[in-house]
Structure 1
Amino acid sequence: MANEIDTYTKRRLSQRYILWLTAITVAGGWAVALPLYGWLPQYYTPLYPYIMLYFYVWALGFAWMLNRPVRDGRLSTQGFMYFKVAKLVASVGVVGAFIALSDQPKHPFILLFLFWYLVYLIFETRFFWLYEKSRKGGKA
């Protein structure tokens, strides 16, 4: 397995991923929540912390997926894509359930959810690209 990275490097990458993930969740969450709550309270949804928790748990699942043994390069990329599809389907379900079951204003929730979906999508994709690059010896 010439293009498999060692366990120490994989663990270090996972730790760095979780550290950045936590920083983005806490700092970004407060950076968005405080102005919304203070200046635009009509756009602050009480479910905002749960949006952050939802994406944080999905990102931790992504970190777990990266630590699974990989037999070939395709399996790692396939796993990443399957994970992204599962996250998209679950997210559509969450937003659909909120629209169908909630009496709260819909637009603020949907816009915040979409914003954080894109933030985490960019973060996870960039991290996976760096992961694959290090796994293949910097040739990506």
Structure 2
Amino acid sequence: MDRDNIEGGRTVWGSYKVPLPLHDHLRPLPETKDIALHHMHNLGKKLVKDGAYTKQYSAFMTEMLEKGYAERVTAASQENVWYIPHFGVQQPDKPSRVCVVFDCANKVEGTSLNDLLLRGPDMMNSLLGVLVKFRGGLFTYTGDINTMFY
């Protein structure tokens, strides 16, 4: 994520960008490009070996770009940047689907992007509370949010 180029304002896609909530926004980020290139090299080897995996991975990344969840980095915006390595995971019960994981817990110089971000309040509901509310009404709604965390 390019911290200097993430400013408030409307984008071409109609979404709103906000700065990352970092503990110390003035502290320079560690150099992460070499680690990300190493991860990309390992991913490249796997993509060359498995054509079906490559097709699914490419489709996912194309969708991320088309929906505006990701954008190509230009040469002009490469100061004070955190490169996020990513890799694909296939579940044994769903071998035809690749789930791409963005590894923000990857440590560089002893710290990760997750370590630098401010923590929000604990929004998790207790299991007991969920069960009590589930039994309290006439109707129950569930949902499946596919791309919520991207």
TM-score normalised by structure 2 residue count: 0.30
Q: Which structure has greater helix proportion? A: 1
Determine which structure has the larger strand proportion and give its number: 2
Ranked by relative contact order (alpha carbons within 8 Å, sequence separation 6 or more), the top structure is 1
Question: Structure 1 length as normaliser, TM-score?
Answer: 0.31
| Rg larger in structure | 2
